[in-house]
């Protein structure tokens, strides 16, 4: 019997990329390929690229090198956002055989023959306007959590962002499609689903040019809450202007949606927000946080923020710092602005020196540590539910409570992928929280 061809995958970037790699991998498996780890000898290596990653080109070259070190005759393909934005650049990298743009990545099987190497990287890219169809996907982060794609692309025009250029217009899965995937995930024994997309609050736009289908994000949340077998649902990241009161209220009363929100702010100064072409002012952000706190005082609220955007003065930055310091939020994800080709922001005056960007980033990362600690401290002594993960890390098993407090307890393999009622007892030196068990599986 002929040996199965082996294929390995490497994914850069966001959860959406991870879920799409899973779909591509499943297509390969359906075609008779065996999936192996990236460190193993494979006949083909597929790299799912990201345009947001700092030094994306350097990183890509290193990954190609790594693959060729394991098997110098392997066929190398690049897909994903960076492959859409800079196809020729990737095709020129030594050893790359195939580069596929946004419309072609899910048809990768059609582009490979006998896997013999090409003399030059072959590019099949597209105009991004053509990426108007929807391909559903989901992936498993570990044995306990799945990332379920519900939406793709973005119609916003934030001046620093290349995602609309790499992924195209906003479009989403049908309600039927999402519920079917959610049930499949539940049937595999996965307990938590994280909703994934580029701009998931914009859920409800159909394929092929912005036709609305009949469902909104609120409908989606309502229906998903009823899927049997899924214990937990997490909204992940949602734009503040799209996080409606109704959604917040629904989450507060929901069976499975957990009290955890991740809301991009990007700047605490309205002038900078305007230059970024964000669709809200800081006042709306405060309003969203207050609404969450009103109905879910114990909710975890994470914030994305960008430092060093062109024209961000020391005063603007300090305004952002104090704004976040005064706001009842739980942690920050800090991004240091960096210029991207073909974006409006890259042409703007007021470039902030790199060392100033680094200093601002450090200050906000320090603030994040302080915020997380204060949030964890506010939760000590409360009863929560934890979903344990499946890894043994230096003799401990970790998990997250519904409101995203990271907990740990001595390793016990029987705890993996189970839910337990616990009391949060004390913050450990490594920043995670010790617990007392209140019940066996719930």
Note the residues at the interface with ligand SF4 (CB under 6 A). Answer: 154, 156, 158, 161, 163-164, 198-199, 239
Report in angstroms how near the CB of residue 228 gets to ligand SF4 at its nearest.
33
Helices (H) and strands (E) in the chain, counts: 13, 20
Q: Which residue, 140 or 156, has its beta carbon nearer to ligand SF4?
A: 156
- Output 238 or 367, the one with its CB closest to ligand SF4: 238
Q: Least Å distance between CB 140 and ligand SF4? A: 24
- Closest approach of Cβ 314 to ligand SF4, in Å? 24
- Closer to ligand SF4 by Cβ: residue 294 or 347: 347
C-alpha to C-alpha distance for 385 and 258, rounded to whole angstroms: 11
- What whole-number distance in Å separates Cα of residue 378 and Cα of residue 380? 6
Q: How far apart are CA 409 and CA 320, in angstroms?
A: 37
Q: Which two tokens stand for residue 24?
A: 């591509």
Q: What are phi and psi of 66, to 5 degrees?
A: -60, -45
User: Which residues are registered as beta bridge partners of 98?
Assistant: 77, 122
What is the rounded distance in angstroms from the CA atom of residue 204 to the CA atom of residue 208? 13
CA-to-CA dists, residue 125 to 50, 56, 88, 359, 396, angstroms? 16, 18, 10, 39, 46
First vs last C-alpha separation in the chain: 48
Give the residue with the Cβ less far from ligand SF4, 144 or 247: 247
Shortest reach from residue 157's CB to ligand SF4, in Å: 6
Least separation, in Å, of the C-beta of 31 and ligand SF4?
32
CB of 189 to ligand SF4, least distance (A): 33
Nearer to ligand SF4, 154 or 299 (CB): 154
Nearer to ligand SF4, 17 or 409 (CB): 17
3-class state of residue 424 by DSSP? strand
Residue 161 beta carbon to ligand SF4: minimum distance, rounded to whole angstroms: 3
C-alpha 386 chain-centroid distance: 22
Q: Residue 291: in which H helix or E strand, if any?
A: helix 282-295
Q: Which is nearer to ligand SF4, 269 or 379 (CB)?
A: 269
Phi-psi region at 381: left, alpha or beta (left = phi > 0; alpha = psi -120 to 50):
left
């Amino acid at each position: 019997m002929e040996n199965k061809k082996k294929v390995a995958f490497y994914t850069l970037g966001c959860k959406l990329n991870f879920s799409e790699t899973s779909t591509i991998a499943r297509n390969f498996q359906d075609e008779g390929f065996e999936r192996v780890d990236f460190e193993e000898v494979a006949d083909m290596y597929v790299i799912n690229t990201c345009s947001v990653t700092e030094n994306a080109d350097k990183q890509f070259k290193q990954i190609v090198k790594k693959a060729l070190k394991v098997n110098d005759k392997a066929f190398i393909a690049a897909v994903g956002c960076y492959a859409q934005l800079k196809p020729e650049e990737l095709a020129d990298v030594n050893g790359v055989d195939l580069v596929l743009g946004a419309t072609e990545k899910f048809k990768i099987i059609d582009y490979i023959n006998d896997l013999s190497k090409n003399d030059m990287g072959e590019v099949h890219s597209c105009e991004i306007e053509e990426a108007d169809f929807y391909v559903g996907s989901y992936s498993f982060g570990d044995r306990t959590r799945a990332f379920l794609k519900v939406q793709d692309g973005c119609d916003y025009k934030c001046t620093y962002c290349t995602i609309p250029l790499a992924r195209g217009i906003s479009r989403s899965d049908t309600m039927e499609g999402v519920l079917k995937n959610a049930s499949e995930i539940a049937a595999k024994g996965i307990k938590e689903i994280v909703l994934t997309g580029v701009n998931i609050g914009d859920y409800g736009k159909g394929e092929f040019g912005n036709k609305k289908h009949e469902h909104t994000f609120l409908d989606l949340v309502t229906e998903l809450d009823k899927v049997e077998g899924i214990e937990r649902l997490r909204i992940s990241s949602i734009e503040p202007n799209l996080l409606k009161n109704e959604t917040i209220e629904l989450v507060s009363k929901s069976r499975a949606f957990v009290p955890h929100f991740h809301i991009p702010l990007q700047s605490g100064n309205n002038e900078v927000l305007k230059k970024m072409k964000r669709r809200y002012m800081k006042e709306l952000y405060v309003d969203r946080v207050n609404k969450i706190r009103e109905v879910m005082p114990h909710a975890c609220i994470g914030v994305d923020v960008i430092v060093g955007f062109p024209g961000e003065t020391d005063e603007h930055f300090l305004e952002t710092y104090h704004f976040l310091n005064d706001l009842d939020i739980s942690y920050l994800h800090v991004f240091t602005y960096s210029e991207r080709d073909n974006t409006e922001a890259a042409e703007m005056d007021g470039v902030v020196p790199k060392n100033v960007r680094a200093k601002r980033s450090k200050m906000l990362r320090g603030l994040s540590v302080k915020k997380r600690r204060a949030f964890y401290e506010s939760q000590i002594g409360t009863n929560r539910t934890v979903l344990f993960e499946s890894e043994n890390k230096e003799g401990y098993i970790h998990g997250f409570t519904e409101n995203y407090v990271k907990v740990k307890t001595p390793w016990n393999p029987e705890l993996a992928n189970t839910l337990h009622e616990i009391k949060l007892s004390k913050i450990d030196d490594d920043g995670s929280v010790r617990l007392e068990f209140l019940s066996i599986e719930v």
